[in-house]
Amino acid sequence: MTIPMLYSKLHRATVTGADLHYEGSIAIDTGLIAAAKLRPLQLVEIYNINNGERFSTYVIAGAPGEVSLNGAAARRVQKGDLLIVCAYAQIASEEVDTHQAKIVLLGEGNVIEKTFDQ
């Protein structure tokens, strides 16, 4: 049996842009993708701290400092909003007690302030 568990999280990512007329996705700085152990095209859940919106989309590579929502998701954010970006994975029940998620805390300009396993 597997249990869905948090795999990784970008905490307090600042929205740098929103493009309604672009194929849907979230463009994330490639350094942030690597730090959070995310993958292009991976499903992520987005939690908007500013307005409470919760939605899902997929990751694409973005420019340095970029966290931009595209397509329909662009309607759920405004530039400057703070987001939590979470990825989940199915973890075997016998591994749940030792599983650790990668947490990446971000500061102003989407700069990594701290990373740790939780």
CA distance 67 to 109: 10
Provide the pairing of β-strand 43-48 with 25-29. Answer: unpaired
Choose, from 58, 68, 88, 93, the residue flagged as catalytic.
58
User: Is 7 annotated in the active site?
Assistant: no
3-class DSSP state of 109: helix
Choose, from 7, 8, 25, 68, the residue flagged as catalytic.
25
Determine contact, residues 58/44, Cβ cutoff 8 Å. yes
Instruction: Determine the residue type at 36.
Output: A
User: Is 58 annotated in the active site?
Assistant: yes
- Residues carrying an active site annotation: 25, 58
